[in-house]
Structure 1
Amino acid sequence: MTIVSVVQRTPLPVTALLWAETRPVVQAIFAVRYWVGALVVLAGGGAFGPAVVLGSLGWLLLTMSIYLVNGVSDLTADRANGSDRPLARGLIGAHGAVRVAWALAAASLLLTALTGTLALVLCAVAMGVLGWAYSVGPHPLKNSVAGTAVASAGGGLLTYLAGAAAAGGLPDGPYVAVFVLLALWMAVAGAAKDLGDRSGDEAAGRRTLPVVAGHRAATRVIAAGCLALGTTTVVVAGTWPEVLLPALVLCLGAVVVAVLALRTREDLPRALVRRPYRAFMVTQYAVNPALLLSVLV
């Protein structure tokens, strides 16, 4: 990974810029996943203790480190795509961001170790390896369609399992099934993010789905994948009625993303090309509370 630092003067504190670079909206959904994993286990008889809180802080630091490294590795693509994130605009230096990322990762592992929960520590180590492998190394996972899917699904599932481990165990089968579906949702519908980034990804040498297959074929693959996942959620709900609510929300979101993807032309403004991705994010924020309601009600 080649790092080029061009730093401009800015009135904002460096800490605020670093936080903005980690993509707060994404950090929020990772926190939601962690706490959903923990609360599902707690509702089933798990124990709330310091491990849950320490684990949540450690997980936040870990995901922040992952996204800082990703921001550095994405500099070429982000600048080509006109990204307004601090690194791409030259408001913070790449070398400094990498140093902060290492510090955050170390602090994260320390906090998870202090919980005394081996399963949580193993989840954190796996997440760190997967997250950093997505962006750095001789063959970053982000440079292939399969690698991106593995990193997306794996990161989501590990986050749910980390929360569950911190609370003292694994949830029942129906909720594990929903966790897996939501992880697959990240891999399938999350690919919509790349629809608006094709030019920058090509410039950076990334072989994303739109780059490999072309825009039109990519939208069809995303739509087909979403509809297949939506159908699977109906089957899961039929098998385990207790997860009917989150399954229906996920199914509805899958249909919306599929329709938007099929209606998204490559020549539209970038904001409109990103509509399927925004629908993907909204669905994530809707399904997780629905999952909690199914546990608590």
Structure 2
Amino acid sequence: MPMHSDNKKSSNTIKTLAHHIAFTRPLLLIPIWTAAILGFWAGGGNRGAKNHWELILLTTFLGIGIYGINQIFDKVADRENEKHLPLAMGLISPFMAWFITISGFVGALVIGIFKTPAIAILTVICVLLGIAYSAPPLKLKDRWLHALIANGVGHGALVFLLGYFYALHQCEECKFSILAILKCIAFASAFATVYIFTTLLDTEGDRKFGKETIAVKFGLRRSGAFGLLGLLISLILAVIAREPALFLTAIIATPFYAGALADESIEKAKIER
């Protein structure tokens, strides 16, 4: 009997830990790491720059804070949209949600502000934008144009620049170039496009809660068409900016999204995040 009790406690502990890890949205951290590492490589990572693991840690903390505060203020809507997120399902407490979120933001600031002025400024902007995106009074996520710009600039351009400047200050022969600006625009376009497609899944729930996302504003099919246009723009910008990873990603994604949107009913299950 004691052994059975111990096994049950261990199982509950593992489940609780898993729920708290899931709250950090680990799969959604991968695109952030990708943009940061590609920025690092462009800024001098291919010429001997170091500390890329510190960059990964910084962007991880940023992602945890940004995704955390989004779940906190979207808890009811997430439950309505059946997202099965830990906080919305009551699997973790509001206190722990706030603790993890604040820890993420603090961790990012502690790392970022002690680096170069450019990295410090970019880190602060990322934190402020992440808060403004989800928290009142601004709640940029509830207005389609503001949300579109915030996703493109925040997840795409700013994170790329964080990686870029992380490497640039270590590379004496490297200088900021027009190519870096083109790459920023390309990443901003790509992440804004991803945002468009993610809104399609939540249209009914978002409409119920008074959110004016791009899908609520223009409808599923028209929003999907905007998304495909965004993919095309991202492809062109990736070629101009000489960013093969972004180009290949857009090439691979295009037929899947186009196929889903070609369906008469545009089934939710066919449009994946």
Distance 2:81 2:264 in 1: 17
2:64 corresponds in structure 1 to 64
1:192 Cα deviation after fit: 0.4
1:214 corresponds in structure 2 to 219
1:24 Cα deviation after fit: 1.0
Query: How do 1:26-41 and structure 2 match up within 5 A?
Result: 26-41=28-43
Distance 1:118 1:56, change over 3 A: farther
1:152 corresponds in structure 2 to 151
Greater Cα shift, 179-188 or 142-151? 179-188
8 A Cα contact 1:223 1:261, kept in partner = no
1:203 aligns with 2:208: yes
Q: What percent of counterpart residues are identical?
A: 25
Distance 1:77 1:265 in 2: 27
What value does the CA root-mean-square deviation take over the aligned residues? 2.6
1:119 aligns with 2:118: yes
Distance 2:188 2:203 in 1: 24
TM-score, normalisation: structure 1: 0.76
Distance 1:210 1:194 in 2: 6
Distance 1:59 1:229, change over 3 A: closer
Query: How do 1:113-192 and structure 2 match up within 5 A?
Result: 113-114=113-114, 116-155=115-154, 156-169=156-169, 172-192=177-197
Distance 1:244 1:83, change over 3 A: closer
| Deviation by residue 1:231-289 (Cα, 9 ceiling, x = unmatched) | 4445x16xxxxx27346425524642552353144462x322x24x4xxxxxxxxxxxx
1:75 corresponds in structure 2 to 75
Greater Cα shift, 169-178 or 55-64? 169-178
TM-score, normalisation: structure 2: 0.83
Distance 1:102 1:264, change over 3 A: farther
8 A Cα contact 1:192 1:261, kept in partner = no
The size of the alignment, in residue pairs, is: 257
Structure 1 spans left out of the alignment, 5+ residues:
1-8, 238-242, 278-297
Give 1:196's aligned amino acid: L
Distance 1:247 1:35, change over 3 A: closer
2:101 corresponds in structure 1 to 101
Greater Cα shift, 52-61 or 24-33? 52-61
Structure 2 spans left out of the alignment, 5+ residues:
1-10, 170-174
Distance 1:166 1:13, change over 3 A: farther
| Deviation by residue 1:4-23 (Cα, 9 ceiling, x = unmatched) | xxxxx955354432221221
Secondary structure at the counterpart of residue 168 of structure 2: coil
1:87 corresponds in structure 2 to 87
8 A Cα contact 2:234 2:247, kept in partner = no
| Deviation by residue 1:124-183 (Cα, 9 ceiling, x = unmatched) | 100001111110012301001111112111112111111111113465433542332122
1:71 Cα deviation after fit: 0.9
8 A Cα contact 1:62 1:108, kept in partner = yes
Secondary structure at the counterpart of residue 88 of structure 1: coil
8 A Cα contact 1:76 1:203, kept in partner = no
Secondary structure at the counterpart of residue 167 of structure 1: helix
Q: Aligned match of 1:271 in 246, 269, 272?
A: 269
